């Protein structure tokens, strides 16, 4: 893989490579490289989680989404606004709006992005009462 030619592997170089794969519609390669990165002992940061969650969303991979969600919890990023927003998005994309709600509840100060993503998830899943409830809160 491309990563074998990198001499100085850190979270920034890994993030750049994963992002390049995601942007070139190579989400599966990005997901595999994420696993490779973890095996080398490099700890992910918030930006990397956002990139990997985008790859999982592109793949429509419930298992991948759950695994990355578990890593986000392990590294303490679940309640971070940008990572939380990406987690909400992937759960909505995968049809798990109740999981999206759990993540939403953990974000300290949800932005309009998180609110809109959650409301749209409820609408897409035909939970109009819940969507209306959050739209009027």
User: What predicted TM-score, i.e. pTM, was given to this entire model?
Assistant: 0.81
CA proximity to 103, closest of 94, 122, 90, 116: 90
State which residues of the chain have pLDDT below 50: 3
* pLDDT score recorded for residue 4: 57
Cα gap 98→25, rounded to integer Å: 28
Residues 6+ apart with CB under 8 A from 92: 100, 117, 118, 120, 121, 124
Quick: pLDDT tens for 12-33. Answer: 999 999 999 999 999 999 999 9
């Amino acid at each position: 893989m491309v990563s074998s030619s990198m001499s100085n592997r850190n979270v920034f170089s890994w993030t750049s490579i994963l992002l390049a794969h995601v942007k070139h519609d190579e989400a599966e390669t990005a997901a595999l490289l994420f696993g490779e990165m973890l095996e080398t002992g490099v700890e992910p940061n918030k930006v990397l989680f956002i990139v990997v969650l985008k790859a999982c969303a592109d793949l429509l991979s419930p298992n991948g989404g759950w695994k990355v969600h578990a890593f986000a919890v392990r590294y303490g990023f679940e309640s971070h606004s940008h990572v939380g927003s990406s987690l909400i998005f992937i759960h909505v994309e995968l049809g798990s709006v109740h999981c999206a709600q759990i993540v939403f509840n953990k974000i300290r100060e949800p932005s309009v992005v998180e609110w809109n993503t959650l409301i749209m998830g409820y609408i897409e899943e035909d939970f109009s009462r819940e969507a209306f409830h959050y739209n009027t809160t």
